[in-house]
Amino acid sequence: MVHNASATTVDPAEVERFGRIADEWWDLRGKFAPLHRLGPVRVGYVRDHAARHFGRDPLGADPLAGLSVLDVGCGGGLMCEPMARLGGAVTGIDASARNVAVAGLHARGQGLAIDYRSGEAESMAAAGAQFDIVLALEIVEHVADVDLFLRSVGQVVRPGGIVFVSTLNRTAKAWALAVAGAEYVLRWLPRGTHDWRRFLKPSELSRGLRAGGIEVRGLTGIVYHPLSRRWSLNADDLDVNYILHGVRTA
């Protein structure tokens, strides 16, 4: 992968922070346990909307067969692997070479062929790569230049393709739950994982995507239930975590 140093959204401090804990990506009881629990809800949302967008049955066999998928900020491959099992031809990119190495090792153990590369959205865009489905989940709150990042994400979506973005809302409730609660009280996430000032309101995210030719088609909250320790979608509660999907029209 060519590293394009002139225009990058990668924040080196963030890359270093995640790289340090890369070995724990697949430990269900480790630091990434909340992401694992979030997995089924995120995959379900992506599968349902992507399959319907391309005229497939979301519950049928291999609903993503023949579709190319790019996961931007793939981490240990927690989204790439389900996407590949659902039939997608998956590429995962991450700014941390260590994450990419961990993800590649794990996928081989699972017998999955996933193209993992060290890199970022801008370099993919510069290389002219385009995909049917693009995922940018829990990543936009970690980049240095949000507008550049969202524009690059738009560019790597093939016209007519679909993109999914999830992040945290910049509300007092999000600060209380995701920063104070998850990092300081419950210690689910390492301290310093999130900087509340970088969280985006849905309107800001939509505006940024529109600049990259993406028209937002749907938006829903993702809500945590502490008693059952499970996540679910809730269209009426966008206060903390939310996910949206949009289509590249131009």
Where on the chain is the footprint of another protein (CB under 8 A)?
Answer: 26, 28, 36-37, 39-40, 43-44, 47, 58-59, 61, 81-86, 106, 109-111
**Closest approach of Cβ 119 to another protein, in Å?**
24
Nearest distance from C-beta of residue 230 to another protein, angstroms: 10
Nearer to another protein, 74 or 205 (CB): 74
| Residue tagged 């519950």 (tokens) | 59
3-state secondary structure of 227: coil
In the complex with another protein, which residue's Cβ is closer, 68 or 152? 68
Q: How far is the CB of 86 from another protein (least distance, A)?
A: 4
Minimum distance, C-beta of residue 139 to another protein, in the bound complex (Å): 20
Hey, is 24 helix, strand or coil?
helix
Task: Output 110 or 249, the one with its CB closest to another protein.
Answer: 110
Q: Which candidate, 8, 20, 34, places its Cα nearest to that of 99? A: 20
Report CA 42 to chain centroid distance, whole Å. Answer: 9
At position 224, the amino acid (one-letter code) is Y
Neighbours of 58 (CB within 10 A): 15
* Sheet-wide strand order for 131-137: 115-118, 89-94, 68-72, 131-137, 157-168, 241-248, 214-225, 230-234
Phi and psi of 232, rounded to 5°? -150, 165
Under DSSP, the state recorded for 175 is: I
Question: CA 27, 31, 33 angle in degrees (round to 5)?
Answer: 65
- Of 5 and 59, nearer to another protein (C-beta) is 59
**Residue of 114, 115, 111, 112 whose CA lies nearest to 124:** 115
Instruction: Please name the residue that has the structure tokens 């560019």.
Output: 155
CB of 188 to another protein, least distance (A): 15
For residue 28, the minimal CB distance to another protein (Å) is 5
Residue placing its CB nearer to another protein in the complex, 3 or 108: 108
The candidate with the shortest Cα–Cα distance to 194, out of 86, 88, 35, 78, is 35
Q: Which is nearer to another protein, 82 or 104 (CB)?
A: 82
Q: Given the complex with another protein, which of 44 and 213 has the nearer CB atom? A: 44
Question: How far apart are CB 150 and another protein at their closest, in Å?
Answer: 26
